[in-house]
Structure 1
């Protein structure tokens, strides 16, 4: 499960070959002890939660990097190492 970005205490992960549980492109984001799974590119919460102010930051980051997230999803789905994505600044 490689971390593809980290910002403001949020760590964003893509799991390798992770299409069985959610059947759509998605990321896992962890903030402290909270985890949320969010669809790409819609930004729909599939499972879990993080504090709302952190969720807003995550969604803004996802909007800025939609194309990169989709490309990384395809890499991870095929078992390849996804690229790091620039953090939100």
Structure 2
């Protein structure tokens, strides 16, 4: 699973040829979640409120880049790194 960003110990990744809707995977310690790109809603898993807040803040700033990476992943193309939350 290619890592596309990392900040404050939070890892953001995407799988190639993953199921729809377009989404990304989040790991932080033992916490894991899948977040839909368009709505920024949690599809699966659970994150603590502070972690989820940071992830949503980051994703809102990078929605277009996340969607481009989703499209690349569907084509089996290399994914672009996305700037971390600062």
Tell me the TM-score normalised to structure 2 length: 0.96
1:38-87 superposed Cα distances (whole Å, 9 cap, x missing partner): 00021111000111101000000000001100000000111111100000
Across the aligned residues of Structure 1 and Structure 2, the Cα RMSD in angstroms comes to: 0.7
Tell me the TM-score normalised to structure 1 length: 0.93
Partners of 2:8 and 2:52 lie apart in 1 by 11
Extract unaligned runs of 5+ from structure 1: none
1:83 is matched with 80
- Number of residues of Structure 1 aligned to a counterpart in Structure 2: 86
Extract unaligned runs of 5+ from structure 2: none
1:12 is matched with 12
